[in-house]
Amino acid sequence: MKGLRAFVRENSRNPNAIAYTVMAIGALAFPGIVQFANGGNGDFLVSLAADGGVYVLLAIGLNVVVGFAGLLDLGYAAFFAIGSYTYGMLASAQLISSPIHHAVHIPFWIALLIGMFVAAGAGALLGAPTLRLRGDYLAIVTLGFGEIVPRFFRNMRDWTSGVNGISALDVPTLPFWLTGPWASTQLAIEHNFRFVSFNPTAWYVLIVILIAISVIGVNNLYRSRLGRAWMAVREDETAAAAMGVNTVNTKLLAFAIGASFSGFAGAFYGAKLSLVSPDSFGFIVSITILSMVVLGGMGNIPGAMIGALLLYSVLYYFLPAAPAQAAALAHSLGMDWLNQSSPNGWPGISEFIHRLQFIMFGLILVGIMLLRPQGLLPSRLRAQELKRGVHDESAVVTA
């Protein structure tokens, strides 16, 4: 007990520790709370949260590239696409219609690792010829790569079904699974468990475990020799090289490791949605993930996670719900004429709000950058660097 008290006292002023604690408790309590609040009909929200977890994973991965190593990546969704398509081809009947004429059904748990390595390989492949480029040039190359990859998958019709995408992907299976009141059923052990779409709680638990593993892994990397090399390269590449950091391999590893998380996320996303289509990986996805990292605070893992959760809930929960709510509000205020579309161009309030979404997204991006360019939960080390322009030894130790 004394240990716990000391732990709390030590960390009560550490925003990262608080953020981790709040997120861990929130993640554990979330399914129970929404099921209770919605009278057992909260499956929709749990499923949405599991999808949001994909973005948390992506933000953690992009944070390695952009936040730690300072390599600007505008095409991160390309690796996400590669992860998803890898799983789609290796775990469905898709390859029957391809030139090899055999379906491949690799179990999810193994395909997860394969997706990870394929995405990491793609990251290294992109990184290798572009490493001598700096800053904006690198950003432009990644942007081009991000535009090419989805089009490539769309055009390889024999392998990927083109615009229709790959559907009916295999779901993960486990020998047993514990189910209980958090999924609004009796406490019991299920044998030969399959992750099915009408059981979002299982998907939710899976993604939370994946995120937890990733966070532990990235935290260890951050504190390792490699993590320090990333920071050195980010701050001053020439000085880092002079200090004996192999900048080429360091940057290559940042690209590969960052991409590997999107391989993870891609496999989960494909399995849960049971559909991989080339439209899901456009520029807007790359930008959304980048905005999540920047909003949360670049270079800080819990910051990126919080940014992902906040922006995801705004973009996929509040904004989509807004048109119906506006219509209901207009109705309850007795202004039903707002809901009618009129011939002089007024499309009705719900359609109007729906059309506002691009402006909303833009205003969020601009607003965040103007009001809080360092992010909501900035890395303490980076905050000090930004303030003083130099970093002292104590800052490195405490970070």
Binding interface with another protein (CB under 8 A):
66, 72, 128-137, 139-141, 143-145, 147-148, 151-152, 154-155, 221, 224-226, 229, 245-246, 248-250, 252-253, 257, 283, 287, 290-291, 294, 298, 347, 352, 355-366, 368-370, 373, 386
Whichever of 20 and 316 has its CB closer to another protein, that residue is 316
Q: How far is the CB of 355 from another protein (least distance, A)?
A: 5
What ranges make up the beta strands (E) of the chain?
91-92, 104-105, 166-167, 173-179, 188-194, 275-276
Q: How far is the CB of 266 from another protein (least distance, A)?
A: 20
Q: How far is the CB of 193 from another protein (least distance, A)?
A: 34
Whichever of 30 and 152 has its CB closer to another protein, that residue is 152
Q: How far is the CB of 60 from another protein (least distance, A)?
A: 17
Whichever of 4 and 359 has its CB closer to another protein, that residue is 359
Whichever of 164 and 246 has its CB closer to another protein, that residue is 246
Q: How far is the CB of 62 from another protein (least distance, A)?
A: 12
Whichever of 12 and 238 has its CB closer to another protein, that residue is 238
Whichever of 153 and 204 has its CB closer to another protein, that residue is 153
Whichever of 104 and 360 has its CB closer to another protein, that residue is 360
Q: How far is the CB of 81 from another protein (least distance, A)?
A: 14
Q: How far is the CB of 101 from another protein (least distance, A)?
A: 24
